[in-house]
Structures are given as C-alpha cells and as structure tokens.
Structure 1
Amino acid sequence: MGESRLDTGRIRAARGVIDPVFLDTPQYRCEALEPELGCGVSIKLETANPVRSFKGRGTELVASQLAEAGARAVVCASAGNLGQALAWSGRRRGLDVTVVASRFATKAKLDRIRALGAELELVDGDHELARERAAAIAQYEGIRLLEDSLDLETCEGAATIGLELMDGTPTFDTVLIALGGGAMATGVGHVVKELAPDIDVICVQPHGAPALTRSWHQRRVVTTDSTNTIADGVAGRFPIPEVLDDLLLIADDAVLVQEQSIITGMRLLYNQAGLIVEPSAALGIAAILENPTRFADRNILTIICGSNVDLPAYHGWIGVH
C-alpha cells in the first residue's frame, strides 16, 4: 500500500484558516432515531452553516491560498454544494468565481450559487460534462481549476470534521460516511484511522451511482456509463485514481443502498430528529436500515453532510405537504 496524500499536521493547521462559522458543528447522540434503527446513533450536523453543507471547509482553504497568491479568479464544476461554498468563500476574499453545473442540478442549489454572486454556467449533460467544461474554462482563461476530491484542500478541509469527531473520547465504534467524489470519506477516514484505528470507517453510496464503491471492491478504477439516483451530490461516474488510492488506505467497507432506503432515511431524520436533509445526507441511515443485523447494538456516528433540497421534490419523497 502507498502513502496517503493527506497529512494530519496540515489538517490541524487548516482549522486556523477556515472561517469559524464552518467549524465545531453540532455533534450529539440522537436517541429518537435509535428504536427504529436498533443501534446507538450519533450525528454530526454539517448543515449548520451559511452554505448548509460541509464543503465550505475545503473552499475556505482554496480561497485563502488564492487570495494570498494574488489570484483573481477560480472555476469549479459542481452538483451544487461545492459551487455554493466556493461562491461564499470567494466572495469573502474578492475572487471572481465561476461554477459550471448541469442544468438538471437541484434548482435550490443553482439559485443559491447565483445569489452568492458567482457566475453560473449550465451544461446540457451530467456532472462529468460539467467537469470537462470547467477544465476548458480554466485553461482558456488561465485561472485556477478547483477539482473536488482531487485537490487536497477539499479533502483536508473535510478532514477537520474528523478532528472534531475525535475530540475527547469517541462514543462510537463505527462511522458511516456518504461517498461521492471521496473528499469527505478520505479526509474524515484519514483522521479517524490515524487517531483511533479500531473504529470502523464504512462508506455508503447509492446503487444508482456505484462507481467509487465498485472501484474500492475491485481495487482499480471502475467507471459507469450513467447514474440514476436522487442523491445528486454523490452521482459521479469517473472515480479519481488518487482518491481511490487514499480510500483503499482507510475504508473498512463500502456499501451500496437502494433509493427507497434513502427516502426512508430522510423521512426518519425529519420525523425523529427534525432535520430536513438532502438525499446524500441520509446515506448512513439508509445503510443501517438495509442491514440492521450488522449494526445491531453498535454505536454509530453518521455525518449529515448537506441540506440543500428543492422543497417540492423533498415533500414528494417524504410525504410531507
């Protein structure tokens, strides 16, 4: 096995760069979830910040470095949450931010990107086409391309969540982490495994977007022709080789869950915890629902990673009107 790209020293230093508004998010045992799930459940609420997702931790590092270097602009591709975070961090530091997204992305996310002052370009395709277009803009304009999960700042920014999870004596034996591009899974997993190797790190992806999970199991990059999931935040088709290498170092397992389990998880979080979450944030709960025997009597922590949803779609999923 190779060495991780991530460095715990840099991750600790990152806490001094990231705006405190993104740090030290609520973390608590959620007993109301436990009767239906059959295990101890704690949640880390990464939605309690101005962009309602964990992505601001990484974009703060990127925007800070660019501002210090005198850069004027940055571009990224985003399913929505990274774009919001980069728009927020860039605006704060006087950077011109361009976000490329699929026109089929969640409307609430696109509206918020515009509201935060970024230039938004839409493509007639999925997130992978947006990635290609963002790279072309960066090359043409000679500006920084921020690539989520490939760029270490996004992973090490997310990894500061892991430092907070491990502050004090952990009350959990398993962490369930949503798996998309891999920044959060590799970042949090790196810190957890370095500080408490016995804690299980389990990554969760939808059956409708299984590329990185398949890659982990086969120990090589596996791509897919399409995705089909309501969990738009994790719907990638082309895993990044460097990210897979990091994931192989820290993940104890990677599992796939059904769409109905994601919806049931969202409903549970709404009814029992009072939380409106996007589908990606319910993946950990979905994993418990699909394999209750595996998690019975264990103490689970899952990261609620985003809450940017179109309310009409959300109401349809969970049956609240």
Structure 2
Amino acid sequence: MNLILEDILAARIRIKHLVHKTPLLRSRQLNRLLGCDLYFKAESLQKVGAFKARGVCHFLSREETGNPVVTTYSSGNHGQALAWAASQFERKAVVFMPEDASQAKVAAVRGYGGEVRFAGLSGDDRQAACEAFAAETGALVVPPFDHPHIIAGQGTVLLEIVEELPTFDALLVPTGGGGLLAGNALALKALRRNAQIFACEPELAADARASLASGELQRIEYAKTIADGARNLCLGNLNWDIIRRHVDGGLAAPEFLIVEAMRELATFTKQYVEPSGALGLACLMGHRDQFKNKTVVIILSGGNIALEDYARLITSHGAKHGSASR
C-alpha cells in the first residue's frame, strides 16, 4: 500500500472523536535562551500520554476480525495505547514487553485493562513472542510502527500543527521505529510546505541518522539509552521507504542533554516529559547554531515516566552538568 496525503486526512476523520487535538505551546524564555522561535506540539498531553494513541485508534478502526483479542510488542507507550484503545473497541489486548520494562508503563498497560507478558530484552525477542502467540491463537497483531494504518494515524499530528502554524522552518521529531517521523514527513511534503524535517535520536541509538547519512537502511547492535521509546535497532522497512525520500536529515543528542531538555521543559513550559519525548529539544540544544533565528516546531512525543525515575534522572545528571541552554 502506497500511502498518500488522503490516507492521513481520512485517518483524522476516523479518530477525531477518540483522541485529543493537542496544543502548541510556547516559551519566551526558551526562545531567548536558544535564539529561535519555538513551538512545542504537546503529544505528552494526548490520550495515554503519547502520540501512539493516534495510530492505534486508526488501526483498530480499519481492521476487523472475528477474534476479539489484539496483541502487540512494545517497550511501553504503544502497549498502553493498545490496551486503552482495545477497551474503546470492546476488545482485549495482550502486550509483550521487555523484562526490563519501566514498571510505571507495565502498571499503565494493566491499568487500561491489558494483559502483560514479558519476553526477553530486545525488540526482536518480544516481536517473536507476539507473533508466535498470534499464530497460535488467531489474535490480531497491531504493529508499533511499520504499518500503513499506524503511519497514517501518526501523520495526523502534522495536520493539527499546520492548522495553527501554517509556516515554519523546521520540524523536529523524536524517532524510534520511525512511524511518527514517516507519517509527519509524508504529510509535510505532500502539503508542499518548505519546512525541513529532522529525525531526533539519542546518540546511543542513532540508527536513523546513520541510515539517512548513508542512504541505506542501517541496523545497530544495541541501544542502551535512557530514552526507552527510541531503543529500536532499526527503522521499519515501510517507514524507511518514506523517510529516505522525505526527511532532510538526522540529529542525535547525548544522554545528559536529553535530561537537560526534560528539565528545561519542566521549568519553562511546565511539561512533564519522558526522555524520548524530550529528544527534539535535546537535539536542538546540541545543534543550536543550525536553528538560530528559525521558527522550529518540536513534537513532545510522550510523558510517561514514573515520578521517582524522573526525579532520579533530573537530580543525578543535574549534579554533573549545568544548564545547557544558559
């Protein structure tokens, strides 16, 4: 299936009664400190605290099956979204998560009515377990990123952005498997906006940056980063086909800048954002000369992190590093 803008427009109609239209936030202080005009698309305020609700709702609205069970593999946010959305569609969700998954995200999946099963530490481990379960039971697999319905749902973020801000210079997108990046890149270029779009990753898991630099899909050996939503070893194949044609480049940030971005977002926008959700600002902080005097939209992709983990990251990194924006 070749995705086009009309697929994303149709997705918005299908999910508009299920998800929030999230706000574009601003901060004069951050604009002054970083020397650019910033807008933050707060998907951290979306249903289940992440953009993932969009793609999952669109997928379930399109896929019919006689089996009431749906299943997926996820480090957290996609699993939460599926558990919540399954309840909206009167279905049951079984979510395969890594053995070291955030306990807050495990509890959230269960809180939304999902069943959690643990499978290894890697994405490959949980994907294999999920697919084996689906083959045995007939459950419908809802992929976390590499599917046309998921990508189209995530692309609805861009439609909301351009309604409020028709022109801007750059869009910075946190990137794991690439569904959010692919959907927004496709919509941005189809609408013939002149803005550039960048993949934003941790330096410890920068496979998209490597892929864009080489022109070939790259796979990394491991991804040990605090940004658990970006620990994918490789972009999805369908996502890569869109990304290689429409994304202007890849940026990456070190761990300390990710935490500093979380702190700055809390201080100046009052947003409580998880490490993956702060990747866009972290990358801008590390490449500020590239965006000087530009109008930049940053997607805050999620806000799901336990309070104690948030406090630990902020205090431990804060003791070693000063404020990067000052």
In the superposition, the TM-score normalised over structure 2's length comes to 0.92
**2:197 corresponds to:** 201
Residue 18 (structure 1) shift: 0.9
Matched, 1:253 2:249: yes
> 2:28 aligned with 1:31, yes or no?
yes
Partner of 1:72: 68
What amino acid does structure 1 have at the position aligned with 2:40? I
2:103 corresponds to 1:103:
no
TM-superposed deviation, 1:75: 0.8
Between the aligned partners of 1:174 and 1:111, the Cα distance in structure 2 is: 36
Tell me, in whole angstroms, the C-alpha distance in 2 between the residues paired with 1:242 and 1:122.
27
Deviates more, 1:143-152 or 1:254-263: 143-152
Contact 1:209 1:228 in 2 (8 A): yes
Equivalent residues of 1:128, 1:236 under 8 A apart: no
What do the CA deviations read for 1:230-278 (whole angstroms, capped 9, x no partner)?
Answer: 0000110133222211101110111121111111100100111111100
Distance 1:122 1:69, change over 3 A: closer
The one-letter code matched in structure 2 to 1:31 is R
User: 1:21 offset after TM fit, Å?
Assistant: 4.7
| Contact kept in structure 2, 1:179 and 1:205, CA below 8 Å | yes
List aligned pairs for 1:228-307, cutoff 5 A.
228-307=224-303
Provide the rounded CA distance (Å) in 2 between the counterparts of 1:164 and 1:215: 28
Q: CA deviation at 1:168?
A: 5.3
Once residues 52 and 133 of structure 1 are traced to their aligned partners in structure 2, the CA distance between those partners, rounded to angstroms, is: 26
**CA positional deviation for 1:5:** 3.1
Matches within 5 A, 1:92-241: 92-167=88-163, 169-241=165-237
Partner residue, 2:48? 51
CA drift of 1:183 comes to: 0.5
Show CA shifts across 1:264-306 (max 9, x none).
1001001111111001111111111111111111111001110
Runs (4+) of structure 1 moved beyond 4 Å?
Answer: none
- 1:6 equivalenced with 2:30 (yes/no): no
- Matched residue SS, 1:147: coil
Q: Tell me the distance in 1 between the aligned counterparts of 2:67 and 2:3.
A: 24
Give the stretch that moved more between structures: 275-284 or 192-201. 192-201
Q: Deviation at 1:101? A: 0.5
Aligned CA RMSD, in angstroms, stands at 1.8
Are the aligned partners of 2:70 and 2:140 in contact in 1 as well (CA < 8 Å)? yes
One-letter amino acid of the counterpart of residue 261, structure 2: G
Q: CA deviation at 1:171?
A: 4.3
Per-residue deviation, residues 52-90 of structure 1 (Å, max 9, x unmatched) = 000011111122233x44441111001100011111111
Q: Is the 8 A contact 1:6 1:187 kept in 2?
A: no
**2:123 & 2:188 partners in 1: Cα distance?**
29
Q: Give the secondary-structure state (helix, strand or coil) at the position aligned to 1:20.
A: coil
* Count of residue correspondences: 317
Q: Please state how far the C-alpha of 1:11 moved relative to its aligned partner.
A: 1.1
Aligned mates of 1:166, 1:35 — CA distance in 2: 24
How far apart, in 2, do the equivalents of 1:240 and 1:14 lie? 20
Are 1:19 and 1:60, in contact at CA under 8 Å, matched by a contact in 2? Answer: no
